[in-house]
Amino acid sequence: MAKSKYEYVKHFEQDDRLLPGCWLVVRLDGRGFHRFSSLHGFTKPNDLRALQLANRCAETVMKDVQDAILAYGESDEYSFVLDRKTRLFGRRESKITTTVCSLFSAAYVLYWPEFFPETPLQYPPSFDARAVCYPTSRILRDYLSWRQADCHINNLYNTCFWTLVQQGGMPEKEAEETLRGTFSADKNELLFSRFGINYAHLPAIFRKGTTLVWEEVEIPVTTPSGESALRRKKAVRALDVDIIGDQFWHDRPWLLGEDT
């Protein structure tokens, strides 16, 4: 077929194929969620409904985007790990990030009323997205450890801050000053000695974030001849466990393959 004289404009497009053989991570982060969370009355420091809504959206992405092997979410962010061998969209960065980001955003709006039945959305939420290539499984694990450590550090701080304010009746400025320069051990001690709160006993979803993985499950089915049977099926499972240590990875050797 003859090409139109306009075809040449195609050559202005830039090649944005992500490095071959690397793990691909797409991280989304809520845009202006400081304002969004306060306008929609998210509970402080953690809103379980908001976390579960984000988990629901991430599950949608896992099921719809080929080669998503794991996802990790905390606060207003979610990271998706795509298999190092993925050929999704020819590994073109913009195609991958925009698809993941728009699917997540659309799901956020679609499922919003399920999780916030009494709170109408005030404006369309949006997310930014970036893709990063990680050449080894060790570095990929360090990336995920970085995010889970971030979850822990922020959650410990926010838990102390809001406990001082909500239960201790302390003005926000004073709570901030009380926590300035404190270490983790001080914060744990403050929660325990002043409020009887054992940080380690708070819900794991707040302390660890959520990790989504594919797992094989058995579901009861009825055969055409009317008998009960079990059918094996892959399903997305949400875990609120430590992913920094080795245990999680040793229990699931198929996630990273040989190179660890």
Query: Using the rule CB under 6 A, is 76 a contact of ligand DGT?
Result: yes
| Position among 77, 93, 131, 175 found at the interface with Mg ion (CB under 5 A) | 77
Residue of 85, 104, 87, 115 whose CA lies nearest to 26: 104
Q: How far apart are CA 244 and CA 131, in angstroms?
A: 21
Tokens 């901030």 sit at which residue?
176
Find the shortest distance in angstroms from Cβ 170 to ligand DGT: 18
Q: How far apart are CA 62 and CA 215, in angstroms?
A: 12
Q: Which of residues 33-62 bind Mg ion (CB under 5 A)?
A: 33
Query: Using the rule CB under 6 A, is 32 a contact of ligand DGT?
Result: yes
Residue 177, token pair as written in the block: 């000053």
| Position among 31, 85, 138, 194 found at the interface with ligand DGT (CB under 6 A) | 31
Rg (CA), the chain: 22
Q: Select from 9-17, 29-37, 116-124, 180-188 the region that touches Mg ion (CB under 5 A).
A: 29-37
Q: Select from 46-54, 84-92, 197-205, 245-253 the region that touches ligand DGT (CB under 6 A).
A: 46-54
Task: List helix spans (H) across 11-136.
Answer: 33-39, 48-64, 93-115
222 DSSP β-pair partners: 228
Find the shortest distance in angstroms from Cβ 252 to ligand DGT: 27
Query: Using the rule CB under 6 A, is 210 a contact of ligand DGT?
Result: no
Residue 241, phi then psi, degrees to nearest 5 = -120, 170
**165 CB-near residues (< 8 Å, 6+ apart):** 171, 172, 175
| Position among 24, 28, 40, 42 found at the interface with ligand DGT (CB under 6 A) | 42
Nearer residue to Mg ion within complex by CB, 163 or 209? 209
Residues that bind ligand DGT (CB under 6 A): 29-34, 37, 42, 44, 46-47, 50, 75-76
Residues that bind Mg ion (CB under 5 A): 29-30, 33, 75-77
